[in-house]
Amino acid sequence: MAPSRCLPEPAVLARLLSGAGLRAAKGAEVDVPDGDWVHFEDTSNAPAPPPAPLAAPRGPVPPTRGADRAAPVTAPAPQESREVKPKSSPSAQPLAEVTDEKLSEEVFGAGARGLGVEQRLQRFVQWLASGTGASSAFVADLEGLPLVNRNTPEPYVVAIGPLARAQAEIARFVPDSPPGTSIVELDHQRLLEVVWADTPIGRLGVGVVLPEPLKHTLVTRIRRVAALSVVFRGDS
């Protein structure tokens, strides 16, 4: 049988059959022009040729952006601590550096010169209660007579008389300069502390009821304010 003249060139036919999964082999024969015979076989089920090896990269590989290569978290730089120092006040200054005028203004308020003794004592015990945390406070003479009292049971005030006599007896053996203090334990949570203060009208007892003894610096301040409290109008 003569070959068909309608077939394409052998090379073209070979490419077409290769694209359809066939390749030249010792299988089926295809009649092509000029008497040439090209053999092809079915390669649709043949294993695919191994992939060509990848070329090595020519430059540095950029880092992969993914969850496993998250950008490192840099902690914020610590801010410089700026401590704000409170302004100096008479209560924060050493007592030796505080003038009588400043101390009077701190305790009695502005216009202390125009106040009478009773008004000064009232403001004194208010200052005691707020400045020491005392539940009650009072000022009495050595006989136990109150000059001013703020929420203190009467027996505590009357006890000033015996305490003053005991303090005077103790002073015969242990000199009390400054006058000293007396402490009476009331219960497991409270105590009565009496600060003895020498003033222009004689020695007074300044009593406070509170949970713990007063600090020495505060005791010294109380003595000085007690003396300022009984300064007569116009004398300060």
What count of other Cβ atoms lies within 10 Å of the Cβ of residue 201?
A: 14
> In which band, very low, low, confident or very high, does the pLDDT at 118 lie, cut at 50, 70 and 90?
very high
Q: Mean pLDDT lowest for which of 32-46, 97-111, 196-210? A: 32-46
Quote the CA–CA distance of 216 and 54 in Å, as a whole number: 88
Mean pLDDT throughout 97-110?
Answer: 86
213 vs 84, higher pLDDT: 213
- Confirm or reject CATH 3.40.50.150 for domain 98-229, answering yes or no: no
Residue 129's alpha-carbon distances to 5, 45, 78, 222, in angstroms, are 127, 104, 43, 12
What integer pLDDT is reported at residue 180 of this predicted model? 87
Residue 192 vs residue 167, higher pLDDT:
192
Q: What is the average per-residue pLDDT within 157-164?
A: 95
Segment among 106-120, 123-137, 195-209 with least mean pLDDT: 106-120
Residue 33 pLDDT greater than 50, yes or no: no
**138/142 Cα distance (integer angstroms):** 13
If DSSP states are collapsed to H, E and C, what string results for 137-190?
EEEECCCCCEEEEECCCHHHHHCHHHHHHHHHHHHCCCCCCCCCEEEEECCCCC
Answer whether 195's CB lies under 8 Å from 221's CB: no
Q: Which residues contact 191 (CB under 8 A, 6 or more apart)?
A: 183, 184, 185, 209, 210, 211, 212, 213
Q: How many residues does the chain have?
A: 236
How many Cβ atoms from other residues are within 10 Å of residue 37's Cβ? 10
127 class by beta-carbon count within 10 Å (0-12 exposed, 13-18 middle, 19+ buried): buried
Residue 217 confidence (pLDDT) above 80: yes
pLDDT band at 9 (very low <50, low <70, confident <90, very high): low
Q: What pLDDT score does 23 carry? A: 54
Q: Which residue has the higher pLDDT, 58 or 119?
A: 119
Higher-confidence position of 66 and 171: 171
Query: Is the CB of residue 100 less than 8 Å from the CB of residue 226?
Result: no
Q: What's the chain's average pLDDT?
A: 75
Give the model's confidence band at 4: pLDDT under 50 very low, under 70 low, under 90 confident, else very high.
Answer: low
Domain limits of the chain? 10-42, 98-229
Asked if 189 and 211 count as a contact pair (C-beta separation under 8 A), the reply is yes
Q: Which of 30-39, 95-104, 153-162 has the highest mean pLDDT?
A: 153-162
| Model pLDDT for residues 69-92, shown as the tens digit of each residue | 555 555 555 554 444 343 334 455
